[in-house]
Amino acid sequence: MKLFDLTGKYAIVIGGGGGIGHSMAQGLAQAGARVGIASRNLDNLKAVADAFKKESGLTLDVFQVDASDEESINKLAQDVKKAYGRIDILVNSQGFNVKFPALEFDMNEWDRLFSVNVKGVMMACKAFGAIMAEQKYGKIINVSSVRGIRANAGGNSAYCASKAAVDMITRCLAAEWAKLGINVNAVCPALIATPMMEKVMAEPGRAEQYTRNIPLGRLAKTEETVGTCLFLASPASDYVTGQMVYCDGGLTAIG
C-alpha cells in the first residue's frame, strides 16, 4: 500500500525542535520523506537531529527561522527550496501560550503571542504556498488545538482566540487554494502529556481535573498526533481539505 508512503516527498516542520512538531518531523521521516526542522534555536535543532540520527539512522535537516518575522520566514522558504528543489509538505507547529486574567491581560504579551501563533502561521502559509502553487501541489498542516472551539478559563483568552484564528485561516486557505493543488488542514490536539504537564498532573487533584471530561480518561502523548499528520501529508488525504482533525480522546464529542 502506498497511501501513506512519503518516499520522494520533501517536508519542513516549523517548530520541529520539540513537542508535537518534533514527533511529527520524526514520523514524516520514518514514512520516507526528506524532512527539515526549523526554529530560532539552531543548537537545539542540531542536538535533536543528532539524537534522531543515532536512534533511527534517519536524517533531519536543520534550518533557522524567527516565526514572528516575515523576512526570516521568506528566507526559510527560499533556503528550503534551494536545498530540496521543491517543498511538498509544510507543518506549522510554531506557537506558545501566555496566561493572564482577562482584566489584567498585558496587551504587549497578547501581541507577542498573536505574532507567532497567528501571524507566523499565515506568513509561513503564504511563503511556502507560493512555492506549492508553482508546483501545483502541496500539503499544509497547521497545528491548532481543541481550544479553537472550546473556551477555557484560567487566563487562556489569547491562546484560545489565536487557535480559533488558525482554524479559520486553515478553512479560508483551503477554499482559496484548492484549485492550485494545495490541501490545507489542521491537527487539533487536546492537552498533551509533556514533561511539564506530567509534573502538573502529579499535584493532588490535577489528574482528575484535566481528564474528567476526556472519554479516554487520559492526556495524549505527542506521538499520538503523528498518525493524523501522516494521513494529512500523504496521498490518503488527497480529497481532504479545510478540515480540523481532533486528536482529543473524545473531548469534543461530548460538547
Cα dist. 148→3, 189, 195 in Å?
A: 29, 10, 23
Three-state SS string over 126-153 comes to HHHHHHHHHHCCEEEEEECCHHHCCCCC
Amino acid at 154: G
Closest to 62 in 3D by CA, of 39, 87, 33, 31: 39
Pairing of strands 34-39, 60-64: parallel
Are the CB atoms for 25 and 37 separated by under 8 Å?
Answer: yes
Of 10, 159, 210, 239, the active-site residue reads 159
Q: What is the largest CA-CA distance in the chain?
A: 54
Closest to 160 in 3D by CA, of 75, 89, 100: 100
Alpha helices in the chain (DSSP H): 19-30, 42-56, 70-84, 107-117, 119-135, 157-177, 195-201, 206-211, 226-233
Residue 159 annotated among the catalytic residues of the structure: yes
Dihedral-angle region of residue 224 (phi above 0 means left; psi in -120 to 50 means alpha; beta otherwise): alpha
Q: Which residues pair with 138 in a beta bridge?
A: 182
Using DSSP's 3-state secondary structure scheme, residue 86 falls into: coil
| Active site residues per annotation | 159
